[in-house]
Amino acid sequence: MAYEITIPSVGESINSATIATWHKKDGEGVKAGDQLVTFDTDKVSQDLEAEREGILHIVAAEGEEVAIGAVIATIEEGQVADSTGSDDGQKAAPAEASADSDANAGSEDDESVRATPVARKMAEEKGLDLGTVEGSGAGGRITKSDVIAATGDEASSSADSKPALSVVDDAKAESPSRSAEETVARTTRKKMTPLRRKIAASLVSAQQNAALLTTFNEVDMSAVMDLRKRLQDSFVAKNGMKLGFMSFFVKAVVEALKSVPGINARIDGDDVITNHFFDIGVAVGTEKGLMVPVLRDCDTKTFAEIEQDIANYAKKAREGKMQLDDLQGGVFTISNGGIYGSMLSTPILNPPQSGILGMHNIMERPMAVNGQVVIRPMMYLALSYDHRIVDGKEAVTFLIRVKECIEDPTRLLVGA
């Protein structure tokens, strides 16, 4: 009996997913609980585990975009001795025999051969029998590259690669000695991941649909750095983690939002919705793109609780286990470009929020203090905001409040 593996629903607004990585091979034996596949949506990455024991048959190859609910593989249920699907060689034989029969059938009927739609169309145009082509894709699926290799025609392509051909032709005209193969190798083309497409759409939407403006200030980090140095050992001994800069800025932002509630609001049609809670998003860069997990109820949490939340989200991001609920509901975002060495930037809003604070690297600079020039560790701060709802006076007041809390962190303890 074949058990179907489908893409589960991960949110009302998500309609499709892209197969990122198969952790098991086509025809391989799997056991209940084995990690099978990682798929990406425009919000999060998610893993699927096997719910049955048997032989895995992959339907959707890596890189394919499939609809929510689509069947991406099946498991032929049965006993599996180990993760390779073999039991002293007895279990693997049926799968091998099946593969042989599929190949033989493919010689007679191309429709029974597993191939991508583009590869099938190209083969039809070239009069190529797909049954004679060895596939290099997942589970032996025949790809466009396999068809090109089989026909020996590197210049052939389907409609989706025509722009690349024009580039090759132009390059040949400019440099006759360079072959088309060498020119093609100078570039690669791949589809954007759902997450990257979502990030791109959100950033463009923010710039098109909001009146973006950025206000700057600078903050002396001496007091926070001295406090961290003095309390770090005891903080680690008590909480099992280091006291970072981000918890100070999260707490400072909460105080600033309390002082300027207009920034803790958003526009919804002709209405202004003011939030009376303080869920702060912290931008996290990952290999797959920018994610903004949300720290809940930061006004009621201690520094240690905030640091623990940040550490948990960082681990989830590294392991690709961020959930949709982790990314929803923030009222304000903090982005720390300083960890990458950024000196100054103008961050873009995270819709539908009305404000985002950009932190930058700490640089020692000469500053005038009490009539004397002294060297201080300084950081530039940038507040980008929606000018439709936030006035310049409110933005400046917000930044000054953040500056006050960082330069005198005792204010965070007493709310002064």
Nearest CA-CA partner of 202 in 324, 290, 331, 320: 290
What pairing do the DSSP bridges indicate for beta strands 71-77 and 212-220?
A: unpaired
Q: Length of the chain, please?
A: 416
- Span 195-414: which CATH code? 3.30.559.10
pLDDT for position 36: 87
At residue 102 the predicted structure's pLDDT band, cuts being 50, 70 and 90, is very low
Where in the chain are the domains? Answer: 2-93, 195-414
Separation CA 379–CA 376 (nearest Å): 10
At residue 392 the predicted structure's pLDDT band, cuts being 50, 70 and 90, is very high
Assigned fold of 2-93: OB fold (Dihydrolipoamide Acetyltransferase, E2P) (2.40.50)
Looking at residues 296-316, what average pLDDT do you find? 94
Q: What is the pLDDT of residues 40-71, one digit of tens each?
A: 876 677 788 888 888 888 888 888 888 888 88
pLDDT for position 99: 42
Q: Which residues pair with 21 in a beta bridge?
A: 38
Q: What is the pLDDT of residues 278-287, one digit of tens each?
A: 999 998 877 7
pLDDT for position 357: 97
Higher pLDDT, 212 or 14: 212
Name residue 336's amino acid.
N
Looking at residues 85-107, what average pLDDT do you find? 42
Looking at residues 20-47, what average pLDDT do you find? 83
Token code pair at residue 385: 């905001």
What pTM does this model have?
Answer: 0.63
Separation CA 411–CA 273 (nearest Å): 29
Is the pLDDT reported for residue 388 higher than 80? yes
At residue 15 the predicted structure's pLDDT band, cuts being 50, 70 and 90, is confident
Higher pLDDT, 201 or 158: 201
Of the given ranges (183-197, 307-321, 332-346, 370-384), which has the lowest mean pLDDT? 183-197
Please identify every residue annotated as catalytic.
Answer: 387, 391
Is the pLDDT reported for residue 93 higher than 80? no
pLDDT for position 197: 80
Higher pLDDT, 200 or 243: 243
Is the pLDDT reported for residue 113 higher than 80? no
Report the alpha-carbon angle 47-49-53, nearest 5.
160
- CA distances to 144, 162, 176, 391 from 166, in Å: 19, 7, 15, 50
- Helix, strand or coil for residue 38? strand
pLDDT for position 139: 64
Same fold, 2-93 and 195-414: no
Average pLDDT, the chain: 81
pLDDT for position 97: 40
pLDDT for position 1: 65
Q: What is the pLDDT of residues 137-191, one digit of tens each?
A: 656 778 777 778 887 754 444 444 444 334 444 444 444 445 444 555 688 888 7
Looking at residues 100-115, what average pLDDT do you find? 49
pLDDT for position 108: 39
pLDDT for position 318: 79
Is the pLDDT reported for residue 105 higher than 50? no
pLDDT for position 96: 44
pLDDT for position 12: 63
At residue 407 the predicted structure's pLDDT band, cuts being 50, 70 and 90, is very high
Q: What is the pLDDT of residues 208-222, one digit of tens each?
A: 889 999 999 999 999
Burial class (CB within 10 angstroms; exposed 0-12, middle 13-18, buried 19+) of 219: buried
Q: Percentage of the chain with pLDDT > 90?
A: 41
